[in-house]
Amino acid sequence: MTSKLYEEIPPVILAVDDDEVNLFMVGSILGKQAKVIKKSSGQEALDYLAGHSVDLVLMDYKMPVMNGLEVLQEMRRRREMDDVPVIIMTGEMDIELETEMFHSGAVDFVRKPFAPMVLKERAHRIVQNEYLKRHLQQEVVRQTQLAEQRLAASERLFDQTVLALVKTIDAKDKYTQGHSQRVADYVRLIAQRAGESPDRQRELYCMGLLHDIGKIGVPGTIINKPSRLTDEEYEIIKSHTTIGSDILKTIVEFPKLSIGARSHHERWDGRGYPDGLRETEIPLDARMIAVADAYDAMTSRRSYRDVMEQERVRTEIERGRGTQFDPRFADIMLELIDEDVDFLMQAAVLKKESLNVTIA
């Protein structure tokens, strides 16, 4: 009886014997691993069991007034104690008595005078099975709580790591800080309208947060260049999709993260990059991110232009429907724009950024 659970909540053993020496020996042998309650008669045992729960009864066979078998038979008639395991202790044993013991409901017997190791092992075997069965629900709750705590700690670490990466990405572009967070929020809004589950919404949110991680590998002078990019510089900018994908592929526990990074600049008409995918060849998640990314690009100040007006943004999304964007997700974005008559959608996201809200 040495399990960790026993140490936290020791099993309770009721020892019943009219011989004080025997009770003392039982307490000495089992008292280090269990709480031993001692009673000197069958009636005292029944009275105790009527109001207390125990994991095992060690019962002497020869006792005055009520012998061990009579006590056992009475226990089996009472609902509150009919399933308590009983080991009979006896100095007399024959086939008839052994048969009657087991017929009456005893789970085992120990010969007297008993050897300490025999008593300990037999009690351990019964208590281990019965105690764990009796306290199974408590153990399940305990293990579930431990698992939930470990999972929560792991998720917090993941969230903190992702947000640290996001801040590193956005810090490279002085004109678009907060872009990744906003894209993630817009993607989640699109996913909600598309009927995605909460788990999928969170997955897409994380993909949106990290879609531009490849910009870590692009020189800041190119990202922040206020004038038109050269063809060579544009090719370097485009490489952020493959760089990001290569970085995120190393996160084996979340393999889909790399999809958003690689494919969010693919176009519905096949004229995007890096792979020139078209229509449903483009991963579904990347199609959502593409619309969200474009919306934020147009509604944010850039090095080469100011914020576009909402009506012009709507026109551009509508124009890109079926050419740049998946029509289904373009339509959802148009719905969101039409409902946002006071242009509060971006304001709500910006407020969330200022509160430094972590991954939801």
Read off φ and ψ for residue 176, nearest 5 degrees.
-125, 30
Q: How far apart are CA 278 and CA 299, in angstroms?
A: 26
Cα 220 to Cα 20: distance, rounded to the nearest angstrom: 87
Closest by alpha carbon to 251, among 264, 261, 241?
261
Nearest alpha carbon to residue 307 among 339, 277, 270, 347: 347
Residue 340 three-state SS:
coil
| Separation CA 340–CA 110 (nearest Å) | 81
- The dihedrals phi and psi of 212, each to the nearest 5 degrees, come to -105, 20
Compute the distance between CA of residue 49 and CA of residue 57 in angstroms, rounded to an integer.
Answer: 10
| Peptide bond just before 113 cis, omega within 30 deg | yes
d(CA 147, CA 49): 36
DSSP helix/strand/coil, 38: strand
Tokens of 76: 């089996």
Q: Name the catalytic one among 215, 238, 256, 352.
A: 215
The string of DSSP letters for 85-110 reads -EEEEES---HHHHHHHHHHT--EEE
* 215 a catalytic residue: yes
Distances (CA, A) of 122 to 16, 21, 32, 83, 115: 16, 20, 16, 18, 11
Residue with tokens 């105790």: 48
Give the span between the Cα atoms of 247 and 148, in whole angstroms: 29
- Cβ-Cβ contacts under 8 Å for 25 (sequence gap 6 or more): 114, 116
Contact at 8 Å (CB) between 213 and 181?
A: no
195: left (phi over 0), alpha (psi -120 to 50) or beta: left
Active-site positions read 215
